[in-house]
Amino acid sequence: MMMQTYPSEEQCKTLLQTLVRTNTCQPEGNEEALVDWIVAQLPQDVTQFKIQNASNRASLIVKLEGDEDDGGVAFVGHLDTVACSEADGWTDPPHGAVVKDHTLYGRGACDMKGGDAAMLLTLKYLLENKVTLKRPVYFCFTSDEEASGLGIQSVLSSGYLNAVDAMIVCEPSREQISNSEKGALWIHVAIDGVSAHASRPTLGINAVEYASLLSQRIKNMVTAKSVHPILGPATAAVTKIFGGSMTNIIPAHAEFEMDIRTNPDTSSKDLEGEIDEIIDQLLKEAGQVSTRSGQLKISKTVINNRPAIETSKDHPLIQTLKAIGAKVGINTGERGHFFYTDASQFIPQMHIPFAIAGPGDDALAHCVNESIDLRSVQRFTKLYINYIMQTNKKD
């Protein structure tokens, strides 16, 4: 049988326009609309599992069977996008999916409906060519990745992917193959001091000043950690801060939030322990200031915890993807991701190798006038097809 050709740029455009024109913005999501549309395109004999995550929110697993039921690879992409508004300054409507000179513009074009399109085009190619497989291939479309990760959590708990031995996350990777991603620890800190007249600051305990001191000590601790050869240094940034009521009152309460990005050599548990030690030391120092009345109080809450994860750059999964990538025009230099993906909630439990490889430039994700080069969607579709044909096609 003569194999069907790779998808054309026009096919990439038509499919991606359908995906982008379906509004799946957070916080509502509405991913079920796309899940139902995908299911409607599938032949009736294709195995698929729809997982309801909430009202109008769903995830989908499509399974192409192999001769063996164990093993196989899972391609993973999320269907939700971050929020958007025309008032943000979009040149064209954010769900218009306007195309100009090979580039499609719209919310989610890059992050990550371009990757979803490449997954669906790969699925279509395998079905139309009746490719027989040694082991299963899974195409997983998740909800809520841009928030709490309800979709990938439900996929994990469903058990449908318990037998897979590799994962390819189809997030935008700037025309490269990534083998690692930073973790994230987000903390909220509340500080209670004692108010006083600002002309007599020694009579109070300045919660804002302690917030500033504490956040800087945490940042110093984080940034002093070892530098990862691909991901670079760990980082810490204060992203929210509140405190004070009037200029002439020593503030008795302050709050701040920090976004800490970790590398694979630092566990969240150890990092939390170090933060607690810094807080304890600061409380001890405050207790030694006898001229102040009252007592300093500090509470810390973790609001997000995603571990950093990594696959060895020498692992066959990474090396095979790079070898195929070089043939289809994808950069084979070393790459890691500074943001977390659905893999952060899956890989630590399953302990399988993963790669992040998807069309688009992640620097354009979440931006006004978000866009993707349609030729990138083509290239990564070729990468996925060739990876499956080389590693999993039955002779």
Supply the range of the domain harboring residue 279.
183-306
Which of 306, 332, 366 is where one domain is finished? 306
**Is residue 280 packed enough to be buried (19+ CB in 10 Å), middle (13-18) or exposed (0-12)?**
exposed
Same domain? 154 vs 34:
yes
C-alpha 344/C-alpha 53 separation (Å) is 19
In this structure, are 223 and 300 located in the same domain?
Answer: yes
Residues 330 and 279 in one domain: no
- pTM, full prediction: 0.93
Considering the domain architecture, whether residues 274 and 330 belong to the same structural domain is answered as no
Selection from 129, 122, 7, 163 nearest residue 387 by Cα: 122
pLDDT tens-digit profile, the chain (395 residues): 456 789 999 999 999 999 999 999 999 999 999 999 999 999 999 999 999 999 999 999 999 999 999 999 999 999 999 999 877 899 999 999 999 999 999 999 999 999 999 999 999 999 999 999 999 999 999 999 999 999 999 999 999 999 999 999 999 999 999 999 999 999 999 999 999 999 999 999 999 999 999 999 999 999 999 999 999 999 999 999 999 999 999 999 999 999 999 999 999 999 999 999 999 999 999 887 644 557 899 999 999 999 999 999 999 999 999 999 999 999 999 999 999 999 999 999 999 999 999 999 999 999 999 999 999 999 999 999 999 999 999 87
What is the rounded distance in angstroms from the CA atom of residue 58 to the CA atom of residue 143?
Answer: 6
Residues 124 and 240 in one domain: no
Q: Tell me the CATH number at 230.
A: 3.30.70.360
128 and 41 part of one domain: yes
Whether 39 is in a domain gets the answer yes
Residues 176, 85, single domain; the answer is yes
Whether 3 maps to a domain, the answer reads no
Residue at token pair 């801060």: 241
Compute the distance between CA of residue 232 and CA of residue 240 in angstroms, rounded to an integer: 24
Same domain? For 202 and 77 the reply is no
| Domains identified in the chain, total number | 2
Instruction: Report the phi/psi class of residue 246: left, alpha or beta, with left for phi > 0 and alpha for psi in -120 to 50.
Output: beta
